Amino acid sequence: MITINLAMAVVLAVLYSVGFYLLLQRSLMRILIGIVVLGHGANLLLQLAGGPPARAPVLGTALPEEFADPLPQALALTAIVITFALTTYLLALGYRSWVLTGRDEVQDDVEDRRVAERERPEGSMEEDAEGPDDEEDPGSAAASDRTDEPAEVSGSGAAR
């Protein structure tokens, strides 16, 4: 079993927590950076799984017992390439989303809310319509979407 030193453990903890924190944001750019940071964390962990630093595993340059474990390096290399490629794809997708919708946010699912509205009893719907709680939170995207939601819903309803 391989153990790692404290400094690396701290670095990993920071990378993972920053990555997951950013993933939970609403802005697409932050999510993307979150994925990148998380990917760095995972790749670093993979690299560390090979044990402490040692000589390059090339035959003839050192004794076999001095070699570092080459397998995690190969795995990390592959994983880095894959994460890099998918990050690029996500970036392109983010750009496309920005072109199409003009927003850098992951939005609510319209159909989800339509189903919620549909199934809600009559009384609670009226209550909700006059309830100002949503407007009080300017940070929530649900609130900012609120105004154009009826248009979106009817639009999608007609399209279906």
Partner 1 sequence: MTTREPVPFTQWDEPEGEWTLPGACPVRSNRTLMLEAAARFLFPTVLVFSVYLLIVGHYAPGGGFPGGLVAGLAFVLRYIAGGESEGAEIGSRFVVRPPVLMGLGLLVAVVSALAPVAFGAPVLASAKVTFEIPLVGTVDLVSSLLIDIGVYLLIIGVVLDLLRSLGSGIERDAREAAGEEAGP
Partner 2 sequence: MSTLVTLPVLLPILGAALTVLAARSARTQRLIGIVVLAAVSVVAAVLLVAADRTGPVVAELGGWPAPVGIVLVADRLSALLLLISTVVTLAVLVYAIGQRISDYGRETASTTFHPIFLLLSTGVSLAYLTGDLFSLFVAFEIMLAASYVLITRRTNASRIRSGMTYVIISLTSSLLFLTTIALVYAATGTVNLADLAGRVAALPEGLRTLLSMLTIVTFGIKAAMVPLHFWLPDSYPNAPAPVTALFAGLLTKVGVYALLRTQTLVFPGTGPSAVLLVLAVLTMVVGALGALAQDDLNRLLSFLLVSHIGFMLFGLAVYDARGAAGTALYIVHHITVQATLFLVSGLITRRTGTVSIEAMGGLARRAPVLAVLFAIPALTLAGIPPTSGFVAKLALLQAGATGGAATAVVAGFVVLASLLTLYAMVRVWVRVFWGTEKEPLSDDDPTDELVVGTARASRPMYAATVALVAVSIAIAVAAGPLSAVTEKAGADLMARTPYVEAVLG
Binding site for partner 1 (CB under 8 A): 81, 88, 92, 95, 99
**Beta partners for 67?**
55
Q: What is the 3-state secondary structure (H, E, C) of the chain?
A: CCCCCHHHHHHHHHHHHHHHHHHCCCEHHHHHHHHHHHHHHHHHHHHHCCCCCCECCCECCECHHHECCHHHHHHHHHHHHHHHHHHHHHHHHHHHHHHHHCCCECCCCHHHHHHHHHHCCHHHHHHHHHCCHHHHCCCCHHHHHHCCHHHHHHHHHHHC
What minimum distance in Å lies between the beta carbon of 101 and partner 2? Answer: 5
With CB cut-offs between 5 and 8 Å by kind, which of partner 2, partner 1, none does residue 88 bind?
A: partner 1
Asked if residue 29 lies in contact with residue 94, where contact means CB atoms within 8 angstroms, the answer is yes
Q: Which of residues 14-53 bind partner 2 (CB under 8 A)?
A: 19, 23, 28, 31, 35, 38-39, 41-43, 45-46, 48-50
The least distance separating partner 1 from the CB of residue 31, rounded to whole angstroms, comes to: 19
Q: Closest distance between partner 1 and the C-beta of residue 77, in Å?
A: 9
By CB under 8 A, residue 125 contacts partner 2: no
Q: Which stretch binds partner 2 (CB under 8 A): 56-64, 70-78, 121-129, 130-138?
A: 70-78
Q: Does 97 participate in binding partner 2 (rule CB under 8 A)?
A: yes
CA 78 to chain CA mean position, Å:
20
Binding interface with partner 2 (CB under 8 A): 1-2, 4, 19, 23, 28, 31, 35, 38-39, 41-43, 45-46, 48-50, 69, 71-72, 75, 78-79, 82-83, 85-86, 89-90, 93-94, 96-97, 100-101, 106-107, 109-112, 114-115, 118-119, 152, 156-160
